[in-house]
Structure 1
Amino acid sequence: MIAPVPFRLFMNPRHGVPGVVVLPESGFRRASAEIRGWPGRLPRPPVALPELAQAAGLASLHLGQVASPGYAYALSRLLRAELARRNMPAGAPGAVTFACAQGRGDDLAAIASAARRLGVRCMAFVEDGAVPGNDAQVLRGGYEEAMRHAGQQGWLFVSAWAAAGYTEVPRDIMQGDRVAVSEALAALPVAPTHVVVPGGQGGLAAATATQLRALGGATPRLVVAEPAGASPLMGEAEGRPAQAPPGLLAWQELERSAFAFLEAPDALGGVLAAAAEASSRVALGLDATSRLLVLGQDADPAEGSAGQGSQQGGLA
């Protein structure tokens, strides 16, 4: 018996419309080669939930927790480029400072941890008193203040949220996300027919959408899940943009590749509730042959430990 969970489903009317290439294959191959060469990195295979699958009337159900290497990969590339621009040796990263901020869905602890492992300072701008561990110097302010100070001080600003004129770092973060998604998909016994992924600022969802197309054959249907009251992606799809809209690159991908948007307290409970409701089940195309993968994101700072190996391998 599936416990009832309140949910709202919106089928994307633009699904399948052609669009621009957001994450080029060349960038993915570069990210994959670097990240998979990090020492000690162990991908997490999805966990099968056969009893829940049977209760929901599905062929299979897997739950995957993606520990994204995206921040560590993007910071490593950004540091290499900056040292080359300054004509500085690889062993002098201490002269470089990164800046990050709350307000766009970034995991400041993951950014700060990756910066520490690369040997650089990190200035974290926060507005609510949260402290991203002991790996950053905390300053008062938000996204705009962080960008302004970074420009004035010569710091390198880091965010997964892409906007006009700021796309390179978010794209690298998304390519790192895509590597983690590819590993989760490769660990499944059979490719899924449906994938549920959290929305957030959209980076992981867009990376998932891109990797699903790369599987070949019939592309699995992507459902983007967001909590009630914090659903900017669903709002954008419905034509009611939020005060903090999704990132530019992420939305360029998701506006055409998301099959549906789901609003629920949690992704797994929401999609199981949708599978139990007749009209939503039909709309999503769920039946006894469906293979469902539900992805969650854990921007584990420990993933940034690979950044140290990346720096040593790529900068030496």
Structure 2
Amino acid sequence: MVDQPVRRVFVPPQSGDPNPDQPPPLNPARITGVASGFMTAKALFVAAEVGLFAALPDDGATAETIAQRCQLPVRSARAIADLLVATGLVEHDGERYRNAPDTEAFLAGRGPLDMRAMLRYWDLVSYPTWTRASTAFRTRQGVRAEQLSEEQTRAYESSVALVTAETAADLAEAYDFGPHTRLLDVGGGIGTFAKPILRAYPRLTATLLDLPDVVDVARAEVAADAFADRLDLVAADVFVDPLPAGHDVVVVANFLHLFSPERNLELLARLAEVVAPGGRLLLVDWFRDPAAPHPATRLGSGEFLMISGGDTYEASDVTGWLDQTGWTPVEHLPLAAPAGLIVAERVG
């Protein structure tokens, strides 16, 4: 009997020039890398929480310096930094650690975009929710806690605002709100979409509708805005409570993806009941391209399922729902990828 060679589990990825006449031997590096990804993800979240990236100057810092600045034990500072070196987010020359260029730009608080709010959401809300992913994928039911703490709600809304700010600005430019007088923003969060619209159209007034805990956060976010007197905040469940009437344009942004097709049909039908014939409905969402799904929609399909049983939908799905609920599709406009805008009109 010939002894089989022992297979190593932890093998670094192959490097060097491959032999064109012989395929490289298979190894499990990709599998172990993906499977252990939760460890590096959590290290990333902790690093952002303790301010590790902000603590690294251009010329780098030793583990001892990181520990002092971040109030960590030296061994912990070294362990977190080493995990991030493996991802490429942190660089190490044998003595000093420094931010990679993209890390410096987006995680140190000194660049053009600060993505730490997204990491905070993933840490406080998304990460614990995904521990129940098996149930969600098997049942198509959301598994996130029904009630978020105030800290979790702020983390969620801040992350959504970060991700959708570009899309919100695009919407205010792509659609002419000039003919309208009163806007209803359904699931409006902390006003990410309503604010740029009101800023661009001084004669427009608006109502932001969202759940009570979200509205509590939104009040503080819009209180100091110059247009605060033109934005009413209404705490309500759009599927249960009476909907405010008197609006000639409705924005539903990044909301359909949170729910099943059946719930979206219910939502669109309810909105049709409070909008007069000729009123407009603006649906902004991450519409899935089945031929070439955008990376964000790949992540979103799982995340929206975990939150509340949602998904990313194709534009054809949405226009089909409109046809069934008293709306006529008017046009489909691209926004910042992968977002798009579907405009519909209330049937007379």
**TM category, shorter:** 0.3 to 0.5
Q: Could you say which structure has the greater relative contact order, defined with CA pairs below 8 angstroms and 6 or more residues apart?
A: 1
Q: Name the larger-Rg structure.
A: 2
